Amino acid sequence: MSGIALSGRRRAAWFLVFWVVIGVASYVLGVRNPLGQRAEDSVLGAAEFTTDPPAPLNLVSVPSVAIALVLIGAIAWVAHGFQRALVVTVVPAAAVIASQLLKLRLLSRPELFSLDAPNTFPSGHMTVFAALTAALIWAVPSAARAFVSLGGTVLVAVAGWQLLAYGWHRPSDVYGGVALAVVAFACAALVRPARSRGTAVLGRVLSVGLALVGWIVAGGAIILAVAAAYAGNSTLLLTAGEFGAVGAAALAMRSMLLLGSGRR
């Protein structure tokens, strides 16, 4: 086994463990816990529900996802070859299917607080945005990967913010969807670490920047959540969840930047 492959698998294993912990913790604390259920239901109550959200949330449909996968696969084929094209189409599709199986078949939401509340963990919409963005990060030429990661962070953060602001999902659903997308690509990198032509322009700078933004915003979200719980303020708790989505987006896209930055 080459040193590059071994290093890539170690990195993939670390991200796999980290995001599995995030996903499991989101489910246990938000869905299987009475206090978590109450907190998340108060977040839903503070949201301004709408069935007609703006972009990017209103862009998700089966045809749009299929078209995006084809386009991303074509980009990867040109930039890195057939094998990478196969990965960036199969892995996100598997993540989206897994999100539906987990939500509808395998995971449950016990009636600890409200009755007849259907399970919404993990968010299928969030999985779609995170998985497709991750696929694009892997698909583009290496020189552009860091910039796509930055743009992808904005897209995933906006989608997560919208899902909470418009009352489509609870915070745990959003975090679980992000975690599932990264876990899917970490598994792919663990089986076969990504190898790319060239290096990402400003890759190290963007990696550090996304880490700082992610942890600072996530830390701020935790502080807001504690303050909201102490004050009994549902609106502030919703804001904490939204900032948590931003932090999760930054950390997830940094993970994808690093997972997809192997060298040939």
**Least-confidence region, from 78-92, 115-129, 184-198, 225-239:** 184-198
Q: What is the pLDDT of residues 11-28, one digit of tens each?
A: 999 999 999 999 999 999
Of the pLDDT bands very low, low, confident and very high (cuts 50, 70, 90), residue 262 is low
Paired with 263 in beta bridges are 196
- Mean pLDDT, residues 124-133 taken together: 98
In the predicted model, what is the mean pLDDT of residues 138-143?
93
pTM of the prediction? 0.94
Please report where in the chains the tokens 């400003």 appear, as a residue.
202
How many Å apart are CA 85 and CA 107, to the nearest integer?
31
53 prior amide bond cis, ω within 30 = no
Convert the pLDDT of each residue in 27-57 to its tens digit. 999 999 999 999 999 999 999 999 999 999 9
**pLDDT for the residue 112:** 83
- Altogether, the residues listed in the chain come to a count of 264
* CA-closest candidate to residue 59, choices 1, 124, 129: 129
If one compares 113 and 96, the residue with the highest pLDDT of the two is 96
Which sign, positive or negative, has the C-alpha torsion 63, 106, 92, 87? negative
